[in-house]
Amino acid sequence: MINLSRLLQDIKDNPTLYLDKPSITCLHSFLIGYLGTLSKLGFTQEGWVMEEFQEWIQERAKTKVLQSWAGIILFGGSERSAFYSFFKLFDEFLKREEISKNEINEVGENLKFNVDDLKPRIYDYNLSELIGRIKKSPGMFLGTASITKFDMYLRGYILAKR
């Protein structure tokens, strides 16, 4: 299992390997698919870091408007510049909150266990079921009906399922 810190560093170093292009919207959709799937499978609870980051970004931007961290970072800029800003802001968040990357890595390492020990979960859809559910309610999974967001979400889902 790839922990969040290592995955984010890999994406930062080579965004085209995961996302095709450096885009904050693509990164957001990919991470939702990846972290959501890992969480639903019972592998990780690293998603809490992104929830805390969301709150921190909203406070930093002094906004109470319900918008994703990606939307707040993107406001008034380009997809590419917002993508690179995310990594600077995320590092600042980790330092400010005194959450070291090592602590995040330890969370990921401590939550590893044998896949055979898992019982099937209600939310563990196969790819065909997931696509059907997204087709019925794209807003619930993607925020908006977007082929790019759909692609990125599925890439995150597939990486997590590996």
Q: Where are the domains of the chain?
A: 4-161
pLDDT of residue 83: 95
Q: How many CA atoms lie within 13 A of 15 on its CB side?
A: 20
Burial, 18: exposed, middle or buried (Cβ in 10 Å; 0-12, 13-18, 19+)? middle
The pTM assigned to this predicted structure is 0.69
pLDDT of residue 121: 41
Query: Distance (Å, rounded) from C-alpha 120 to C-alpha 31?
Result: 23
Q: Give the model's confidence band at 119: pLDDT under 50 very low, under 70 low, under 90 confident, else very high.
A: very low
pLDDT average, residue stretch 138-145 = 75
Encoding tokens for residue 56?
A: 């921190």
Using alpha carbons only, give the angle 66, 44, 74 rounded to the nearest 5 degrees: 30
Which among 53-57, 98-102, 118-122, 152-156 has the top mean pLDDT?
53-57
